[in-house]
Amino acid sequence: FDPKRRGALYGARPQLLAQLDVEYEDGSRERIATDGSWRCSTGPILFSDLLMGESYDARLKMPGWDESGFDDSEWYGVDTEEIGDARLVAQPDEGVRITEELEAKTVTEPENGVYVFDLGLNMVGWVRLRVEGEPGTQVTLRHAEALNPDGTVYTTNLRSARATDHYVLEGNGEEVYEPRFTFHGFRYVEVTGYPGEPPLEAITGRVVTSATPPSGSFECSSQMVNELQKNIIWGQRGNFLSVPTDCPQRDERLGWTGDAQVFVRTASFNMDVAAFFEKWMVDVEDAQSPEGAFPDVAPLPGEGGLLDLRWGAPAWGDAGVIVPWTVYRTYGDTRIVGRHYDAMARWMEHLYEANPDLIRKNRMGKNYGDWLSPKGDHTPKHLLATAYWAYDARLMAGMAEAIGRHEDAREYRDLNENIKAAFEKAYVSPDGRIEGDTQTCYLLALHMDLLPEELRFAAAEHLVRTIEREDWHLSTGFVGVGYLCPVLTEAGRADVAYRLLFNETYPSWGYMIKNGATTIWERWDGWTQESGFQSPNMNSFNHYSLGSVGEWLYRYVAGIDQDPGGTGYERILVRPRPGGGLTSARARYDSIRGTISSEWEISDGAFRLKTTVPANTTATVYVPASDGAGVTEGGGPAGEAEGVEFLREEKGAAVFAVGSGEYEFVGSVL
């Protein structure tokens, strides 16, 4: 609790609810719960706050305070408060853990007595300090993501978050300190007050994250793309701490729903996030307004002037539908649907009540639009809102069917069709041009199936034109970016998708990497050579949203996907889409049914594809080849191989049905 921040984000008063289960030597047990008989005292932790940091005075340690027989006569009584009707439940997800340590790479002295340690990666957690000195010596640790040109730490983008830890020495030989009740997002640590010149080993990074088990890996022949994938995973780890936060460093660190829904598909490839998102969806429903609105952030801070964030904006509130759908499809588990179905239905009713003409212009919340588009957001916000509403209806129909609510499914299908008709009438021209004429306009319409079949090709051509208009660069913000490469690839323009992937000029993923990023930036222009740092009001260097391209790397570059009508990877698609000059790619995904792998290489005039299909599943395998009849498996004609059935040739690939097992296909290079 920071007294300088009125009404701390999650409560104005620190409180403790605890229970001790004691087992005595004779085997008897006693349960001791917090009540008015407990006592309290200050100790060496003088101040601790998630956003601000911690102050610790080692001279104030109380040896034996946590042992029986300790004299607490100088301690104080406590206030008690009823907890009301709150229901306590066990934490359903994996919890936050220290998962690794980072050794400092370098230490510099940009100013006299000011030492800056570089940990090499933009990490989340805290540091362990080793120090020896006189009693009362204070060492101060300030954390930052970047450096100023003079080598000092750049902290302006943290806004009011101090991200500073203070340690006062006890003066008893070497002392080791790490904070207990705070965390920081940082690559650099400024150390002042250190007795003498600190050695490199004085600082060690302690990396923390929700311990979601790794479930996927991806790599290819491009070092830049491999760095992108590493940055996506590192940013996911840094921002998945009990909730999917937007950023881990500034005075915010909230569970923004829009960020989560655009990234959930990528997240589910990298890590097993089933329990993580099941827990977070409880937070989302807890924050739902009585009127049915899902929030912009969850958990929703109850005090401090943020209550307007409960009225979910388009693409933000819709996370209450999209996240359960994605978890259901990924893991084949309908429980998350059943648990939150009524809440999702209330959200749908909330939108319909205010927009009976089926164009969503009302109940738009804070209406962020395609947030942080690089040249300003020109996508009509009511168009974006209506597209998401139609998409919600489509997903609701699928979820209603999955849990046996067949009449609801029919109604949601009808709603989807009616919104689509309203969307086409309001926004789509006969030549396939869409109002706003932005990349995101076309991406939403194509991805969310809002166009009649006869206009899809024309709309895709308009999409490519908008990219060419930007000198073959993207112009999407948070909302559009995740759909960009998949939509282009499905439209037969994987060449354009790869061109965007390999760009290294602004705005692009490659531009971030070229300029030293080790995580995904919040803004495409978080730092530029021409202008330096963007506005500190909103300039995180660890935001996962723009990393939603990771889904495309798994599904289209490596080729691991599932049948559009399937769940839980019971029916698998292995369909790599090589391009962009890549000569190889490989990925592994530990699905709920077992490990799926896809590894391809182009060499010596041949396309070689190795794939693993887990037990109790089937797969449709697409082998890029100029001659389908010439494709081999295991050294012989593929159509004659055991467990392999030739189906057809389709768009430059030979298509086969296979059962579980390991396969090695070879086709001629196109």
Mind telling me the catalytic residues? 252, 522
Q: Measure the CA–CA gap between 11 and 301, rounded to whole angstroms.
A: 8
Instruction: At 276, list the tokens.
Output: 């993580």
Those residues with Cβ within 8 angstroms of residue 86's Cβ, 6 or more apart along the chain or in another chain: none
Three-class SS of residue 224? Answer: helix
Q: Measure the CA–CA gap between 419 and 138, rounded to whole angstroms.
A: 63
Q: Which of 250, 249, 226, 223 is nearest to 238 (CA)?
A: 249
How many residues are listed for the chain in this entry?
A: 670
* Number of other CB atoms surrounding residue 615 within 10 Å: 9
Query: Are the CB atoms for 354 and 303 separated by under 8 Å?
Result: no
CA angle 220, 273, 225 (to 5 degrees): 15
456 — phi, psi (to 5°)? -65, -45
Q: Which residues of 86-124 are buried (b: 16+ CB within 10 A; e: fewer)?
A: eeeeeeebbebeeeeebebeebeeeeeebbbbebebbbb
Q: Is 293 exposed, middle or buried (0-12, 13-18, 19+ CB in 10 A)?
A: buried
Q: Which of 16, 44, 45, 43 is nearest to 32 (CA)?
A: 16
Residue 271 one-letter amino acid: M
Query: Are the CB atoms for 103 and 131 separated by under 8 Å?
Result: no
C-alpha separations of 129 from 62, 134, 176, 552 in Å: 21, 16, 6, 41
- What's the 3-state SS for 253-297? CCCEHHHHHHHHHHHHHHECCHHHHHHHHHHHHHCCCCCCCCCCE
HSE, CB side, 13 Å, CA atoms: give it for residue 409: 9
Which DSSP letter does residue 25 get? T
What residue ranges in 163-215 does DSSP mark as E strands? 164-168, 175-177, 184-192, 203-210
638 — phi, psi (to 5°)? -60, -40
Query: Are the CB atoms for 102 and 204 separated by under 8 Å?
Result: yes
Instruction: At 14, list the tokens.
Output: 């620190």
What residue ranges in 330-432 does DSSP mark as E strands? none
